[in-house]
Every structure is written in C-alpha cells, then in structure tokens.
Structure 1
C-alpha cells in the first residue's frame, strides 16, 4: 500500500535522508505544481508555491503525525499558500495551466474554436470565489475524490458538495451568458 511506503519514506526524509526526500519530491511535486498552476494561473508563481510547499513540509516533517495521507496534507499546504497569494493579488488572472484540449485531427478553425472555449472555461473558473474554484479544481481537474478534496480543504464532504454545486451553477450561467449555448 502506498501509504505504508510513504510512511517509510517520510520517516527516512524526516531523518534527513536525501534519497527519501528526492523520492517524495519526485512523487508529489507534479500534483502540487498542477494544483498551484490551476489555482493561480501563472506557472512561475505555481513553481514558487510548489517549492515553498516542500520547504514547509520538510520543516514540519519531524513532528508530522499521519492523521491524514501525506499527499492530502501536502495538497492542503499548497492550497493554503495559493489562497495567500490570491488574497494578496485580489484578482485571479487565467493562465496557461490547463493543457490544450484541441483535437489534433480537427482542422485549424475547429482547434482554434475549441482552444477559445477552453480559455473561456479557465477564465470563468478563475473568477469564481476562491473556495469554489479550489473545490472544482481539486475534484474536476485534479481528480481527487470528494472525501479527499474535503479533507484537503478542511471542510465536510457536505460543504464541499455545496461549493461544487454553486461553482457549477455559476459556471453554467456565466458560460451560457457569454456566447449562448455551447
């Protein structure tokens, strides 16, 4: 089970073993970077958040108690750092964090139209209140279960479901209002 393996590596990393630290960074940095990129819309800022997440993790590791999965705890640290940056910024700018979803077999006009739709969705997600954006990002874009996302956000599953419902309603209304039905 990965949790047992993580616990072993966490123990070794807390003791300062470089190989264990590298293994944990290698395993978890892509997910943390993706979360931060989607929340912040800026790859350079997301890289800073990822680095800060791991710095905070290593400082806290000797006293860390496995009440939650390490990945859940790490994502919560990253999400809180994203919230801090968003509050300082006071606005979220959509970025190039989501992959281009254009179908390679489509013609250039169809691909351009699809890319514009993806950018509209990115921008709409970025304009959501930060907790709704985080809930949608964790569940729909990052693939976390509702239970995991609720734990990362430190809220109940019911509260997460409510955030997701409000986020989806807001997105639907905004996207349908922008350019008619899509």
Structure 2
C-alpha cells in the first residue's frame, strides 16, 4: 500500500511526504467509509475526518503495526462512531461492487440483481459484522490484519466473519430460490 520510507519521512516533518502519503491512502479510506456507512455524503465526511486525524496523529504511528491497519483502524472507528450516533439507514451504492462479469444483456441484469441483493444483505448486517466483511472482502485483509485494525482478538474476528457469512447466506436465501427478495 504505502512505502515505509514515505511514512517515516512524513513522521519526520516532511510536509510533501505527508501530502503524498494522504493522497495515496485517500481512496482506501473513502472505500472503507463508503462500505461502512453506505452513502456518499457520510463517506466523504468520515474520510475527511479520518484523513485529518491521520494528518494530525502521524507522529503517534508506531511501526509495530502495519501502516494500512493503523489507517483502517482510524477510519473504521470513525465510521462506527458515526453509525452509533446517527443510526442511519444504510444503502451501499453500486459503483464499487461487481460480483459477476456478464457475457450478455440477460447476464448483466442478473449480475445487477445479485450485486443489489448482496449490497442489501451487507447493509442489514450488524455494524461489527459489516466492518469485518468490508475489511476481509473489500480490502483483502488477513484475519490478523483485521484483528489489529479493529483491536479485536483473532478468535473474535473469525467468529464475526463466520456469523456474518451465516447471516448473509440466510439473507440471500430468497434470492437463490429465484431472485425474489423479501
């Protein structure tokens, strides 16, 4: 994700390195916020808050953790705080998730339905399950990286992912039976 030398330069006060660093992580921060919060405006607000926090707290980053997990911990915590305060109705937009590469128009319609069904199912997950799903399947984090990012025990991460998969399977059962969602 980010070169360790760039992080060290930013920590040592190199303003240009810090701005480059923020530009490099901006998309990852926004993507996490978008999938956690479900709408563009909230994601932009959370991203901006996370980038500002990273900007002001870069000195406190210690290389004991991977930089990407430190960043994800910040953005995830901000999103969870926003989620708890607002309790919004979450709806994930279509612009990031693609599950099938359609071969024809009929396949495109089915792919769109599946993507929508999966997004709606993810929207319905509890926030702690949604956060592990986003980090695992959107950012391809390992279980250890998720545990570090969310400051959870490894077994808790495994348990959350297991339960999230079960919930998604239940939520998508109607779709599997013919595309009817209830």
Contact 2:102 2:111 in 1 (8 A): no
Choose which of 91, 102, 105 in structure 1 pairs with 2:103.
Answer: 105
Deviation at 1:172, TM superposition (A): 0.3
Cα distance in 2 for residues equivalent to 1:103 and 1:10: 37
Say whether residues 1:88 and 2:70 are aligned partners: no
Identify the residue that residue 32 of structure 1 maps to in structure 2: 29
Q: 1:180 aligned to 150, 153, 177, which one?
A: 177
User: Counterparts in 2 of 1:77-156, with a 5 A limit?
Assistant: 77-96=74-93, 97-101=95-99, 103-107=101-105, 109-156=106-153
CA deviation profile, 1:100-152 (whole Å, cap 9, x unmatched):
44535321x32122111111111111111101111111112221111101111
How far is 1:180 from its partner?
1.8
What do you get for the CA RMSD once the two structures are aligned?
2.1
Q: Distance in 2 between matches of 1:10 and 1:162?
A: 33
Conserved 8 A contact 1:102-1:112: no
Unmatched 5+ stretches in structure 1: none
**Does structure 2 conserve the Cα–Cα contact (< 8 Å) formed by 1:139 and 1:149?**
yes
Q: In structure 1, what is the Cα distance between the partners aligned to 2:62 and 2:137?
A: 29
* Residues matched between the structures, number: 178
TM-score, normalised with respect to structure 1: 0.87
**1:58 maps to 2:61:** no
